[in-house]
Structure 1
Amino acid sequence: MDIKKQTVQSLKDLLLKGNAHVTFWDAVKHIPADKLGEVPPNMPYSIWQLVEHIRLAQWDILDFSRNPDYKEMNWPHDYWPKETAPKNEKQWKDTLEQIKDELHEFIQLLEAPDADLFAPFPHGDGQHLFREAVLIADHTSYHTGEIVAVRRILNCWP
């Protein structure tokens, strides 16, 4: 296996597997609907806000990585939902589906035959595809840990 394929496989493992932690998908599995919008004492966010934040940030990184006309989002306002709970079950499911779909779109960028993982983006400040992949993996892992913590506080961890 060549070095690019090994690197892409390592990045995919970071993006898709839990490694030392629970996966995002295990963390959001079987959460009672009435717990999605509950903000525990001494915690800043509900599960919904954490998951929606993951979606928004991942979308921004994907857009930055593929769009030469990328427009920067406003931090922190554009990255955190104001609502503590999804409007309904459909919005919750749609958000999870979008996270999954856009993660696979990002992986397609990594797997593209002409992808240069370390070539700086023309519109960035030295950022490149490898860096953005690690950023998504790190960001999702961090907030997945918060989701698990909130679930434990709310007594809804399996």
Structure 2
Amino acid sequence: MANKDDAALRKHLVEVLTGGHAHATFEQAVKGLPVELQGKVPKGAEHSPWQLLEHLRIAQLDILEFSRDSKHESPQWPEGYWPKEKAPADDKAWDKSVRAFRKDLKAMVALIEDEKTDLFAKIPHGDGQTILREALLAADHNAYHVGQLVLVRRLLGAWN
């Protein structure tokens, strides 16, 4: 049985991955963006909402798979982490990417919540990384790029 500190740490990790608290959540950042703006790069920005969404999805999946699969091979940096296309291929691609992000986030949360997961043990196929480090990396990376997505939406006039 996990001790009280272990349970508290797991709870805090899940909250930092999913809760928002000090910043917009992923759900808020992707909700209600008009299809015609998903592929637009506003003046002063480097990426479209689509490129940011796909980058979030690809990077989170890479962190998740690295955390749980010794055979996982990461994409080439940086080109493998960013889509070349500014816009989704079709009207369904945005929702498909959002669903995939949610699914992978749910899997990362399940890994963290699993009491059999030693958050502090070094990942055998890594270079000193732990599940704790990977969870914090995912949370930090997601928060950063969700913030970018909010900024791009503001520049496009599509943020409340």
TM over 0.5: yes
User: 1:96 is matched with which residue: 92, 95, 98?
Assistant: 98
Q: Residue 107 of structure 1 aligns with which residue?
A: 109
- Give distance in 1, aligned partners of 2:62 and 2:74: 8
Q: Residue 36 of structure 2 aligns with which residue?
A: 34
Matches within 5 A, 1:1-158: 2-158=4-160
Q: Aligned with 2:79: secondary structure?
A: coil
- Code of the aligned partner of 2:58: L
- Give distance in 1, aligned partners of 2:72 and 2:26: 27
- Code of the aligned partner of 1:3: D
The Cα of 1:156 is off from its aligned counterpart by 0.9
The Cα of 1:42 is off from its aligned counterpart by 2.0
- Give distance in 1, aligned partners of 2:154 and 2:44: 13
Cα-to-partner distance string for 1:11-35 (whole Å, 9 max, x where unaligned): 0000101111111110111101101
What is the number of equivalent residue pairs in this alignment?
158
The Cα of 1:72 is off from its aligned counterpart by 2.8
- Give distance in 2, aligned partners of 1:123 and 1:78: 21
- After TM superposition, the score normalised by the length of structure 2 is 0.96
- Give distance in 1, aligned partners of 2:50 and 2:99: 14
- Give distance in 2, aligned partners of 1:156 and 1:72: 33
Which structure 2 segments of 5+ residues have no match?
A: none
The Cα of 1:120 is off from its aligned counterpart by 0.4
- Code of the aligned partner of 2:42: P
Q: Aligned with 1:78: secondary structure?
A: helix
- After TM superposition, the score normalised by the length of structure 1 is 0.97
The Cα of 1:89 is off from its aligned counterpart by 2.2
- Code of the aligned partner of 1:121: I
Cα-to-partner distance string for 1:37-89 (whole Å, 9 max, x where unaligned): 00011211000000000000000001100001122321001100000011122
Query: RMSD between aligned alpha carbons?
Result: 1.0
- Give distance in 2, aligned partners of 1:10 and 1:102: 18
The Cα of 1:113 is off from its aligned counterpart by 2.4
Q: Name the % identity.
A: 44
- Code of the aligned partner of 1:111: E
